[in-house]
């Protein structure tokens, strides 16, 4: 079974809770990337962070990351447990209903193939807070303004509406109208909203990314090529976000699994969460053991993290091991 092992002797010696807060200049912002079912990785990462002494001063998320982040923001102490129960149950039927395939085919002229009604009912069953400003931890969800293409940061107003806007996958789910403007998923402008966190005054950033799919043999058939487009654009956007922010701030990039299935498959969310937990915990323990001084600007990550591409290498800051 894919179950996290007990902590090693060295990891235990890092302390309990793991002392990380002293390393991170305040305000500390958790940046939660979008990624569909890969969002389960963040469930594990948040469990690992709950074993440290860090408490976020704000949480900002896109799409699936906004959903998970909002549960934590609603009640920090219970959040990580509630998130476990959400991800333990979440699958397509909670997001688009059971008959999504047949229903999607019939919506030729609609602005989305599928309605957001099922997702809205699911969100209402999870979250009890009506407005973003009433959440316990300051929170923001990022969507894309469909007309201008700019990211829009929802930091007040109706919570559920903002989460629906942030996760309305363009072309699939129905765009969401808020105050006369049309919004789609934040993935189209800021899937990993690190720049938005910096613009809002972050002193340091903890990035909860969503990992990646197994690198399948890249086929060159038209369907495979089209299937790669979203991934290529997302990774280019992600590199840019991390590069811009790591120039100015300490960015703590928690390691994530890169052998996941498709981002709309919910079969393996438990395994993704388990990997997210173990990888984040071991990195956080190493960091606490080997770094005493506050982190300076740059990208703090495992040197062998496949999420640190060639272009990001110059900003990489390693913990001496």
Partner 1 sequence: MKAPISVVTTFGLGRTPAQVGMLEVLAERGIVADHIAGTSLGAINASLLAAASSADEMTEFWAWIHDEILSSPMRAIARGLTSRQARKQEKQVRERFAQLLPATFEELHVPLSLSCTALETGAEVVIDSGDLPEAVMASCALPGVFPPVSIAGAPLIDGGLVAGVPLQAIPERTRTVIVLDTGHSAVSPDVVAGYRWWEVGALSYAHQIRGQAVHALVRMATRVPVVVLSTSGGRLLDFDDPTSAIEAGRRAANQQLDVLPARLRKGVYNLPSGLDEFEVLQDLQVPASDG
Q: Which residues bind partner 1 (CB under 8 A)?
A: 107-113, 144, 146-150, 170-172, 175, 180-182, 184-185, 188-189, 218, 220-223, 225-226, 228-229, 231-233, 235-237, 240, 244, 309-311
Tokens for 36?
């569909």
Nearer to partner 1, 66 or 280 (CB): 66
In whole angstroms, the minimum distance from the beta carbon of 317 to partner 1 comes to 22
In whole angstroms, the minimum distance from the beta carbon of 119 to partner 1 comes to 16
Nearer to partner 1, 150 or 214 (CB): 150
Tokens for 129?
């807070």
**How many CB atoms sit inside 10 A of residue 78's CB?**
11
In whole angstroms, the minimum distance from the beta carbon of 251 to partner 1 comes to 17
Q: CA-CA distance, 1 to 183, in Å (whole number)?
A: 41
Tokens for 292?
């005493």
Nearer to partner 1, 236 or 303 (CB): 236
Q: 121 Cβ partners below 8 Å, 6+ apart?
A: none
In whole angstroms, the minimum distance from the beta carbon of 35 to partner 1 comes to 16
Q: 60 Cβ partners below 8 Å, 6+ apart?
A: 29, 30, 31, 32, 69, 139, 140, 141, 142, 153, 193, 196, 197, 200
Nearer to partner 1, 101 or 232 (CB): 232
Nearer to partner 1, 191 or 278 (CB): 191
Q: CA-CA distance, 205 to 272, in Å (whole number)?
A: 22
In whole angstroms, the minimum distance from the beta carbon of 220 to partner 1 comes to 5
């Amino acid at each position: 079974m894919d179950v996290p092992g007990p902590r090693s002797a060295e990891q235990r010696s890092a302390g309990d809770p793991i002392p990380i807060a002293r390393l991170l200049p305040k305000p500390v912002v958790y940046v939660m990337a979008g990624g569909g079912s890969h969002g389960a990785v963040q469930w594990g990462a948040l469990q690992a962070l709950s074993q440290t002494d860090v408490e976020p001063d704000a949480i900002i998320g896109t799409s699936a990351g906004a959903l998970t982040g909002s549960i934590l923001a609603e009640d920090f102490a219970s959040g990580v447990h509630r998130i476990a129960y959400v991800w333990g149950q979440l699958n397509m039927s909670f997001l688009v209903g059971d008959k999504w395939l047949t229903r999607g085919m019939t919506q030729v002229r609609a602005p989305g193939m599928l309605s957001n009604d099922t997702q809205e009912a699911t969100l209402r069953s999870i979250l009890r807070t009506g407005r973003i400003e009433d959440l316990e931890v300051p929170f923001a969800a990022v969507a894309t303004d469909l007309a201008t293409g700019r990211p829009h940061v929802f930091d007040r107003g109706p919570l559920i509406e903002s989460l629906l806007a942030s996760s309305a996958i363009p072309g699939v789910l129905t765009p969401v109208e808020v105050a006369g403007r049309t919004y789609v998923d934040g993935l189209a402008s800021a899937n990993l909203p690190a720049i938005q966190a910096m613009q809002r005054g972050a002193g340091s950033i903890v990035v909860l990314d969503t990992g990646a799919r197994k690198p399948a043999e890249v086929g060159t058939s038209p369907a495979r090529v089209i299937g790669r487009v979203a991934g290529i654009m997302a990774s280019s956007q992600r590199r840019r976000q991390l590069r811009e922010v790591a120039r100015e701030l300490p960015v703590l990039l928690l390691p994530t699994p890169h052998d996941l299935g498709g981002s709309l498959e919910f079969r393996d969310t438990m395994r993704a969460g388990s990997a997210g937990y173990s990888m984040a915990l071991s990195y956080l323990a190493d960091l606490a053991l080997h770094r005493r001084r506050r982190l300076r600007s740059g990208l703090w990550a495992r040197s062998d993290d496949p999420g640190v591409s060639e272009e990001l290498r110059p900003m990489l800051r390693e913990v001496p091991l």
